[in-house]
Structure 1
Amino acid sequence: MKLNEYILTQGRGAIGRLAASIGAHAPDVSRWISGKRPIPEKAAVAIETATRGAVTRPEMRPDDWQDIWPELALPAHQQEAGHA
């Protein structure tokens, strides 16, 4: 789910609540939602956690997530083997 779609499902005050939960400023979150600014890597991780995976890092950073988090590209069985 895209960040803007997630915010729409969360009702009034969602931007402020998300901003507070990830330690960001609401205007920054608004810019990320609108696409005026890219979502920083650190914020993407925090958003994925705060949304309990409803908004994923690959969805937030579709052009470069493989370079930033290559472990996300591994098939599930390889991820499990690496953590065994």
Structure 2
Amino acid sequence: MHALELIDALGGTYVVAELAGVKPPSVSGWKEAGRIPDAKLIRLAPIAEQRGIATRKGLFPNDWQEIWPELVGPEDLQDSASAKPSAAEEHRKPQAEVVHLEAVAGAHA
């Protein structure tokens, strides 16, 4: 869903400003830019979901699990088991191997 569509669906500039805890000119700037800052969208997403406008998963398709882990269900766990590791997981992986190697080296000393 495009930022302008979400803002309009939630009630317009003034309503979204109140919901997001900002002043209306900020929301007008988001509309002009065509993008709501992630920190504010994270705040607006549950409201949009509650009102049936959009889902949190739909608004954050790539990282909703990290933002709202309580939404992860059994079907998502199966999907993620066959999915490619995220950048964060890839970043952590070498560190775990280094710790493991250090533990092995310490055991032989």
Give the TM-score of the pair, scaled to structure 2. Answer: 0.43
Rg larger in 1 or in 2?
A: 2
Distance 1:54 1:75 in 2: 25
Give the TM-score of the pair, scaled to structure 1. Answer: 0.51
Q: What per-residue deviation string (whole Å, max 9, x for no partner) do you get for residues 9-40 of structure 1?
A: 467xx1121111331233443455512x5321
Distance 2:2 2:74 in 1: 22
Give unmatched runs, 5+ long, in structure 2.
76-109
Distance 2:43 2:18 in 1: 11
Query: Higher relative contact order at CA 8 Å, sep ≥6: structure 1 or structure 2?
Result: 1
Superposition deviation, residue 6 in structure 1: 3.1
Counterpart residue type for residue 15 of structure 1: T
Counterpart residue type for residue 21 of structure 2: G
Give yes or no for the alignment of 1:17 onto 2:21.
no
Give unmatched runs, 5+ long, in structure 1.
77-84
Partner of 1:57: 56
Distance 2:37 2:62 in 1: 11
Counterpart residue type for residue 73 of structure 1: V
Within-5 A mapping of 1:4-83: 4-9=4-9, 14-33=12-31, 34-35=34-35, 38-40=37-39, 43-51=40-48, 52-75=51-74
Identical aligned pairs, as a percentage? Answer: 35
Counterpart residue type for residue 60 of structure 1: L
